[in-house]
Amino acid sequence: MPIVALFVAQTSRLQIPALSAVTRAPILRLLLSSCALAVGCFAQVGSAQQNTIEIDDSVRRGFDAVLNDPRVVSALAELKVREPEAIQEQFRLTEIPAPPFKEDRRAAYFLEQLKARGLEDAYLDAEGNAIGVRKGSGDGPLLLIAAHLDTVFPEGVDTTVQLRDGRYYAPGIGDDTRGLAAMLSVIDILNDSGIQTEADIMFAGNVGEEGRGDLRGIKAIFRDHPSIDGFISRGPHHQWRHR
């Protein structure tokens, strides 16, 4: 069931009416790798803009059922309560520089966080992606949720988070560090809410999204895991304000 999509939407503070990334429908094989593409796609769901993606009624009903499930309602509320923790995690991630082709330190930290949340088999793949799978109840689809580790800022740039006039600033604090922190929140809330997903969920911090990285991380994941049924690419918060 598409529970996780709702969480992901919630953690980006975007109300997405229906998003169907967990079913087996071919349309959901969203091979959208860059955050820009994914954001454009997801953010226009249900809107009146051009390129609106039509959501099948059966998928919409599935979403409504999940959204109204009391366990989901309470888990989403708990996410809001825990937002300060997620922000602190975002700061920790931000302050580990991850220039293009030099994401290894941040990848190692993200891997640790996956393992600490019960994904003991999490690993770094040959490309440098940090990947952990949260098992479903069995026989379900395989859903990939990813956010990219790399930032556009070169080596040597100070990524210390600074508070000025009530706002936090740092190179790369949004794109896509927010997505990484949101993913960890999703794992936490799944673990603590007792919600069992049908899908196996593959959480990935992927390398090489920006510029010359040419999506090398996400390409490697799809090359290595052809059985992926659905993909949610987590973009940074500011890019999701399309509604």
Positions touching Zn ion (CB under 5 A) are 35, 175-176
The H-or-E segment that residue 232 falls in is strand 230-233
Of 133 and 183, CB closest to Zn ion: 183
Contact 4, 232 (CB under 8 A): yes
The distance of closest approach from Cβ of residue 207 to Zn ion in the complex, given in angstroms and rounded to an integer, is 12
Mark whether 155 is an active-site residue.
no
The answer to whether the bond into 176 is cis (omega within 30° of 0) is yes
From 103, 209, 210, 229, the catalytic residue: 209
The distance of closest approach from Cβ of residue 34 to Zn ion in the complex, given in angstroms and rounded to an integer, is 7
Of 210 and 229, CB closest to Zn ion: 210
Of 136 and 171, CB closest to Zn ion: 171
Mark whether 112 is an active-site residue.
no
Tokens at 205, concatenated: 């911090």
The distance of closest approach from Cβ of residue 242 to Zn ion in the complex, given in angstroms and rounded to an integer, is 15
State how beta strands 230-233 and 142-148 pair. Answer: parallel
Nearest to 59, CA basis, from 18, 26, 15:
18
The distance of closest approach from Cβ of residue 148 to Zn ion in the complex, given in angstroms and rounded to an integer, is 6
Of 136 and 172, CB closest to Zn ion: 172
How far is it, in rounded angstroms, from Cα 127 to Cα 134?
Answer: 21
Of 175 and 200, CB closest to Zn ion: 175
Please report where in the chains the tokens 């973009």 appear, as a residue. Answer: 235
DSSP assignment string, 162-195: EEETTEEE-TTTTTTHHHHHHHHHHHHHHHHHTP
Burial 23-44 (b: 16+ CB within 10 A, else e): beeeebebebbbbeebbbebbb
The distance of closest approach from Cβ of residue 165 to Zn ion in the complex, given in angstroms and rounded to an integer, is 25
Contact 90, 181 (CB under 8 A): yes
The distance of closest approach from Cβ of residue 144 to Zn ion in the complex, given in angstroms and rounded to an integer, is 16
Of 35 and 187, CB closest to Zn ion: 35
From 150, 188, 210, 229, the catalytic residue: 150
Nearest to 151, CA basis, from 163, 159, 143:
159
Catalytic residues: 150, 209
